[in-house]
Amino acid sequence: MHIELNHYLWLSAFMFTVGVIGVLVRRNAIVIFMCVELMLNAVNLSFVAFSHFLSDIQGQMMVFFVMTVAAAEAAVGLAIVISLFRNRQTVNIDEINLLKG
Amino acid sequence: METVSFILFSFLGALVMVGSIGTVWSRNPVTSALFLVLNFFALGGIYLLLEAQFIAVVQVIVYAGAIMVLFLFTIMLLNLDDEQALKEKFDLQKGFGILLGGVLLVEVLYILGLKINLPQKSTTLTPVEIGEAKNIGRELITNFLFPFEIVSILLLLAVVGAIVLAKKNFSPNT
């Protein structure tokens, strides 16, 4: 059996869909962050697969930058979660409605 | 050789699927985080299959190491119980979310099923050479110098922002 580009893209599509479902279904803010990481990784996988099959280095550069941004996003996002938990004693996003006034 | 790599791909792909489903499915946030670590390790293996050595190592160090430690640390810090404590909403919302996800999956698979003409290969480097740290580093400080500098500023901002957010006693009512 030969591994083609489409196999990697199917895997990536599956991972991205699971991430989307997780964001829509789960109520725990931290788990939602994890699902966002899942989606970022799905996109990284298709970048690396395209980079391999097109012999182009730019896909891997993009993955490098996505990882950096994901690290920054996780740090700031978790700080926000800690700050919210300190005020509300919950991470349930249904109970966090500060912006409604 | 082809067969071996296909078996490896199937095994790692199954691990990726199990890891991602387990992340969404499990009730306990710590279990979710551990499934996510499994997912990231398996993805690192798949990057090795794609001959992207540098990205594979960075995946394991940065994602499975740094970011997941940050997640687990936050979960421990907040001392969350099982999610039974969280009031689960009615099931219509969940059903709708799963429906939307299924629609998205069908759309993406339909697009993948179309015949897409890939552009011509643009470099003379072989895939193994592309994945080397040497070539990635050279590309980083020549063609991608400006994004590289911008990313350093972004990281600085993230550090400052995280400290400010986590330190200050942010309360909207006072």
**Domain residue limits, chain A:** 5-89
Mark yes or no for CB contact A16/B125 under 8 Å: no
Between the CA of residue B31 and those of B25, B75, B146, what are the distances in Å?
Answer: 9, 11, 39
Q: Is the pTM of this model over 0.90?
A: no
Fold annotation for A5-89: Helix Hairpins (1.10.287)
Of A41, A57, A82, nearest to B139 by CB-CB distance is A57
Q: Which sign, positive or negative, has the C-alpha torsion A52, A56, A62, A65?
A: positive
- The pLDDT assigned to B90 comes to 61
Q: Burial of B8 by CB count in 10 Å (0-12 exposed, 13-18 middle, 19+ buried)?
A: middle
Residue B162, classed as helix, strand or coil, is helix
C-alpha–C-alpha distance, residues B62 and A41, integer Å: 12
Give A-chain residues touching B158 at CB under 8 angstroms.
Answer: 71-73, 75-76
User: Please, which pLDDT band fits residue B172 given cuts at 50, 70 and 90?
Assistant: low
User: Please, which pLDDT band fits residue B84 given cuts at 50, 70 and 90?
Assistant: low
- Which single residue is written with the structure tokens 């788990």? A31
Q: Which residues lie across from A28 on neighbouring strands?
A: A92
- The pLDDT assigned to B23 comes to 92
A96 in B contact zone (CB under 8 Å): no
**In this predicted structure, which of A64-68, A91-95, B5-9 has the lowest mean pLDDT?**
A91-95
